[in-house]
Amino acid sequence: MSARDRILARLRQRTDGQLVPPPSDFSVMTGRAWTPSERLARFEQLMTTAHARVVHTSMDAWTSALREVLHETGVKRLALGRDHEVARQAREALSGSDIALVDADRAVESWQAELFHRVDAGLTSCRGAIAETGSLWLWPTPDEPRLLSLVPPLHLAILDAATLEDTFFEVVERHGWTERMPGNALLISGPSKTADIAQVLAYGVHGPRDLVVLVRH
């Protein structure tokens, strides 16, 4: 019998009953009790500190705000999905404009060169955001693959203010991540940055150098 088998046998033959995990106190990871306005203010402060830009807009006028941001940033080729409500409304609003809409709902092998070299920005929705850390959280889908937020120089994220929550723990608990988490989830707390090279902070080394969050109220 191996050492591993002996250890497992002793565990199975315990005489003092089944092992019971100790009680867990998660209060340190929750219970912030911020108001919606406090939550939004904290999120914006942390996002902008990380060199992201936050634009406030209404549910009815967000596509107009999107057009303004695209014009200001000089975007000519925008990658986006088709099926999500955000993508559908954006496509309708940008129809007939001089901005080329690049389909993201296809195998990356068929448009890899275009994605990495000719797309100016990627547009995504957000499942929500975390006030404590100033983070967006995204669940990529075939319609909105993770490359939309990880490759183009500019990431445009559409966030509903009502989906802001206090802490990461509350997001995991309330949305059942342990039961139906996707193959990958993204937490985004600003544009891409690194200080690996001579400890000098640089943006856009391994992802978007700019992040614009359009917050819909």
Mean pLDDT per 10-residue interval, the chain, length 217 residues: 85 74 77 93 96 97 98 97 97 96 95 95 97 96 94 97 96 88 87 82 84 98
Q: Which CATH superfamily is domain 34-216 in?
A: NagB/RpiA/CoA transferase-like (3.40.50.10420)
CB of 216 within 8 A of CB of 158? yes
Q: What is the pLDDT of residues 92-145, one digit of tens each?
A: 999 999 999 999 999 999 999 999 999 999 999 999 999 999 999 999 999 999
Distance, in Å, from the CA atom of 49 to the CA atom of 211, rounded to the nearest integer, reads 12
What 3-state class would DSSP assign to 174? helix
Classify residue 184 as exposed, middle or buried by CB count within 10 Å of its CB (0-12, 13-18, 19+).
exposed
Distance, in Å, from the CA atom of 146 to the CA atom of 139, rounded to the nearest integer, reads 8
Q: What is the token pair recorded at 131? A: 């006030």
Buried b (16+ CB within 10 A) or exposed e, 2-31: eeeeeeeeeeeeeeeeeeeeeeeeeeeeee
